[in-house]
């Protein structure tokens, strides 16, 4: 019994060791060596094809817009003065003729009342005043003043003869109008003569600014319209560069760039 009790533990250890020996020969999946992965079959893309250029011409792209703008122009001086005078109010533009009309109407009515009877004045007062006012509007203040002075001189020299007095008034009106325009020149000079035999007046031009709408055109970069042959087929494309004599075209038909060499 003592011998069996001593041998039994040793036999149990040997049995356990014999069971562990086959497990040492097995390899777990976690520690198993992995085989190299198969390399994918990849082929390089085919090289681009040389496509001859049949024709190429540049087109300039442009866009036009209508814009409000101002620009400088040269206009004749008389045209400029007419425009500036017409821009004034009517009363200010015709101030001198209106003063002449008032002076002429007053002078005609005064002279008629002084030299005519009451019946004649009553009958002819309105026509004479209106006629004198119209004449004063034409000849202006200078003409009315000259007519009064000329009429007074003619009345003294002609010894109160109506014809001499009338002629003196007309002459005085013309002289007074000329003197007035010499001292106070009109805002707009008279138009030049149309006589072909006369002197050609010197025309002065002034710099002026005119505003309005103008067509503005903007030019963009040139675009080349190119015709080329690819796979026995004529094609057309627009390129931002000069293609030269040949293009490089991929197998799918896409242009990759110019060939940069001449074709024989």
| Residue in this structure with the two tokens 């992995």, named with its chain if needed | 34
Residue with more model confidence, 4 or 230: 230
- Nearest CA to 51 out of 218, 243, 184, 200 is that of 243
Residue 54, both tokens? 């049949």
pLDDT at 103 exceeding the cut of 90? yes
Residue with more model confidence, 67 or 128: 128
CB distance 203 to 64 below 8 Å: no
Average pLDDT, the chain: 79
Predicted confidence (pLDDT) per residue in 207-243, tens digit = 988 888 878 777 666 788 889 988 888 989 888 888 8
pLDDT band, very low/low/confident/very high, at 250 (cuts 50, 70, 90): confident
Order of strands across the sheet with 49-76?
A: 233-239, 205-230, 49-76, 246-249, 255-258
Query: Which 3-state string (H, E, C) describes the chain?
Result: CHHHHHHHHHHHHHHHHHHHHHHHHCCCCCCCCCCCCCCCCCCCCCCCEEEEEEEEEEEEEEEEEEEEEEEEEEEEHHHHHHHHHHCCCHHHHCHHHHHHHHHHHHHHHHHHHHHCCHHHHHHHHHHHHHHHHHHHHHHHHHHHHHHHHHHHHHHHHCCCCHHHHHHHHHHHHHHHHHHHHHHCCCCCCCCCCCCCCCCCCCCCEEEEEEEEEEEEEEEEEEEEEEEEEECCEEEEEEECCCCCCEEEECCCCCEEEECCCCCC
36, 95, 112, 120, 244 from 169: Cα distances, Å: 133, 23, 14, 21, 93
Rounded distance, CA 127 to CA 112, Å? 11
Q: Looking at residue 258, what is its pLDDT?
A: 84
Q: What is the pTM of this model?
A: 0.51
CB distance 223 to 238 below 8 Å: yes
46, 57, 253, 260 from 248: Cα distances, Å: 12, 18, 10, 9
Rounded distance, CA 106 to CA 135, Å? 12
Q: Looking at residue 17, what is its pLDDT?
A: 52
Residue 187, both tokens? 């805002």
Q: Looking at residue 129, what is its pLDDT?
A: 92
Angle between helices 162-183 and 118-157 in degrees, nearest 10: 70
Q: Sketch the domain layout of the chain as residue ranges.
A: 49-65+213-258, 75-187+203-209
Residue with more model confidence, 33 or 160: 160
Angle made by CA atoms 23, 24, 28, in degrees to the nearest 5: 75
Across residues 151-176, what is the average pLDDT? 83
Q: Looking at residue 68, what is its pLDDT?
A: 86
Give how far the C-alpha of residue 230 lies from the chain's centroid of Cα atoms, to the nearest Å. 47
Q: Looking at residue 30, what is its pLDDT?
A: 45
Q: Looking at residue 39, what is its pLDDT?
A: 47
Q: Looking at residue 130, what is its pLDDT?
A: 93
């Amino acid at each position: 019994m003592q011998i069996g009790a001593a041998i039994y533990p040793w036999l149990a250890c040997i049995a356990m060791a014999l069971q562990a020996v086959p497990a040492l020969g097995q390899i777990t999946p976690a520690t198993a060596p992995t085989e190299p992965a198969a390399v994918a079959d990849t082929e390089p893309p085919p090289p681009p094809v040389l496509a001859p250029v049949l024709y190429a011409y540049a087109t300039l792209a442009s866009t036009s817009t209508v814009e409000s703008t101002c620009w400088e122009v040269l206009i004749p001086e008389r045209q400029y003065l007419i425009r500036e005078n017409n821009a004034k109010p009517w009363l200010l533009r015709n101030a001198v003729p209106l003063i002449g009309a008032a002076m002429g109407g007053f002078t005609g009515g005064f002279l008629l009342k002084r030299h005519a009877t009451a019946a004649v004045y009553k009958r002819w007062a309105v026509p004479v005043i209106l006629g004198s006012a119209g004449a004063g509007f034409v000849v202006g203040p200078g003409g009315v003043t000259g007519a009064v002075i000329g009429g007074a001189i003619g009345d003294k020299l002609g010894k109160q003869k109506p014809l001499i007095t009338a002629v003196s008034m007309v002459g005085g009106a013309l002289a007074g109008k000329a003197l007035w325009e010499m001292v106070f020149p009109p805002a707009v000079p008279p138009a030049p003569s149309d006589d072909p035999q006369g002197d050609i007046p010197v025309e002065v031009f002034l710099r002026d600014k005119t505003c309005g709408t103008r067509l503005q055109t903007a030019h963009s970069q040139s675009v080349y319209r190119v015709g080329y042959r690819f796979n026995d087929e004529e094609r057309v494309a627009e390129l931002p560069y000069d293609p030269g004599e040949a293009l490089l075209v991929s197998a799918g038909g896409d242009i990759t760039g110019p060939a940069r060499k001449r074709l024989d």
